[in-house]
Amino acid sequence: MDRGIVYLVGAGPGDPKLITLRGLEALKRSDVVVYDRLAGPQLLHFAKPDAECIYVGKLSDRHTMKQEDINQLLVDLALQGKNVIRLKGGDPTVFGRVGEEADLLQKNGIIYEIIPGITSAIAVPAYAGIPVTHRDMASSFSVITGHESPDKLDLSIQWDKVTNATGTLVFLMGVAKIGYISEQLIAHGRSPETPVALVQWGTRAEQRTVVGTLSTIEAEVKAANLKPPAVIIVGDVVNQRETLSWIEKKPLFGQRILITRARSQASELVAKIDDLGGEAYEFPVIETKLPSSSEALQAIEQAMAQAEAYDWVMLTSVNGVEYFYRWLDHFGVDIRRFHRAKFAAVGPKTAEALATRGVRAELIPESFRAESMLESLNSVVSTGQFALLPRGDLAREILPRELRELGVQTVEIDVYETVLSAPRDVWLPELLEKGKIHVITFTSSSTVNNLLEALRRLGVQNPVEALQNIDIACIGPVTAKTAEDHGLKVTVVPEKYTLDGLVEAIVEIRRVTKGE
């Protein structure tokens, strides 16, 4: 059996978008993901669907697996012919013990790559508005472990040399020792008034910063009840935070927002949330696929064969457009055969999807739902006309029913099916339990139904109860009614049923919550 390759990859400080492109490529091609606590949990969604995920992380009060056992695990998996990624928080060469892992791989003849990551030593201060160097304040910086007990710290750190060796000192994993660290720095020549900052969970929604001086920081940390993990920054550069703090000023900073729509559609919503400083947590609970039943295929083929007969083609979603064109291609139907038909689109995004294919929607209702489409159609359709509705299998029946009452002969075809997606996510139940999901977005009734089922599959016995203290944001009243019928309390329904409207409404409710 051929031996596999082991990728020793730095995942960055927590924000999943801070992993390198090369690291992400390794993740996507690996058969096994060996990961720890500090690697952003959202990164697991990029693994292959059949990849095995093994958690070996360390918690503050226990170790789930000894380092020696992790080293051997990597060797054993590679000897089985599997490509393995060892996903570490930050950079693997900065207190990541990558040398021990690589050494054993080398001794066993295993091919490996060390793929650097963005270390928390520079990324976390940057997210707090603190550059580790500054032309007028610090031309150098040191990165020091603060994780050891005081007696071990004295053995590993030469305080007389370290204290003034560089303008900025960055201690990793030293929250519990902040008092001792401060005492030693003062005793060896740093002014008690030297600025100090501790940044907890930097780059994530939980990011919190405490600022003081060497003489006051221990008391400040205790008062704030700051816990690991956190990065300690010592030096005048800390004062830059007053003017350079950037992400904390964004309207959705500190908000972890659960995205439930299909991954193929989520990118726009994720980007909007990220731009506003929020943390978009993707948990896609729906997938769309081509219908496979012979009845559905026959119905689509028959509908396409009548292309010249339609007076209207009515599309109610971007998915409807995408799959309509996929079936055109499948059956070899030229769009020009629909020359007689006028196209109607529910919502600007649906119209935009048509426009990118060279088709202009002649009717776009002001409100982006079926009822508004009917109001707009009422004055332009006439008895005896022929309409095609390419839709999903879960589409509401109001539009075809009302069209028939208007005397319009209507052909419905299910051009795609919506199915449950239950992502593997060992973290989401814990995040819900600890109140670390602040907003949940629903963009369709199926996302509501499927999220509740997906949570049950993850072991959440009462999903509705688990979501009671979270802001529920629904893109429109139909989706909101579905949520309410399940017993959820809907707090956000935008005036305009669009992604922009949804995000704007979330920003507003969070602003009100903060009392701004």
pLDDT tens digits along 152-209: 677 778 999 999 999 999 999 889 999 999 999 999 999 999 999 999 999 999 999 9
Q: Which residues, given as ranges, of the chain have pLDDT below 50? A: 60-61
pLDDT for the residue numbered 146: 82
CA distance 291 to 79: 41
Pick from 409, 367, 416, 390: nearest CA to 316: 390
**Which three-class secondary structure state does DSSP give residue 120?**
helix
CA distance 348 to 497: 10
Q: Is the dihedral of CA 185, 190, 192, 196 positive or negative?
A: negative
Are 247 and 127 in contact, with CB atoms under 8 Å apart? yes
Are 291 and 393 in contact, with CB atoms under 8 Å apart? yes
pLDDT for the residue numbered 492: 94
- The two tokens of residue 12 are 């960055």
CA distance 6 to 449: 40
Are 347 and 364 in contact, with CB atoms under 8 Å apart? yes
CA distance 507 to 473: 11
Residues 6+ apart with CB under 8 A from 346: 314, 315, 316, 317, 364, 365, 368, 369, 370, 372, 373
Are 285 and 447 in contact, with CB atoms under 8 Å apart? yes
In DSSP notation, 157-206 reads --HHHHTTTSSEEEEES-GGGHHHHHHHHHHTT--TT-EEEEEETTTSTT
CA distance 516 to 510: 9
- The catalytic residue among 48, 58, 250, 436 is 58
**82: annotated active-site residue:** no
CA distance 404 to 331: 27
Amino acid at 516: E
Report domain 122-247's class. alpha beta
Are 258 and 281 in contact, with CB atoms under 8 Å apart? yes
Same fold, 256-285+422-513 and 289-420: yes
CA distance 516 to 512: 6
**65: annotated active-site residue:** no
Beta bridge partners of 471: 439
- The catalytic residue among 15, 31, 88, 173 is 173
Residue range 289-420, CATH number:
3.40.50.10090
**Which three-class secondary structure state does DSSP give residue 106?**
helix
Fold of 6-117: Cobalt-precorrin-4 Transmethylase; domain 1 (3.40.1010)
The structural domains of the chain, with segments of one domain joined by +, span: 6-117, 122-247, 256-285+422-513, 289-420
Q: Is the dihedral of CA 95, 100, 103, 109 positive or negative?
A: negative
- DSSP code of 507? H
Q: Which residue reads 């369709």 in tokens? A: 444
Angle at 206 between CA 202 and CA 207, to 5 degrees: 35
pLDDT for the residue numbered 494: 94
Report domain 256-285+422-513's class. alpha beta
Pick from 418, 167, 381: nearest CA to 289: 418
pLDDT for the residue numbered 60: 47
In DSSP notation, 411-474 reads EEEEEEEEEE-----SSHHHHHHTT---EEEESSHHHHHHHHHHHHHTT-S-HHHHTTTSEEEE
CA distance 396 to 370: 8
- The catalytic residue among 36, 414, 425, 471 is 36
pTM: 0.86
Beta bridge partners of 321: none
**36: annotated active-site residue:** yes
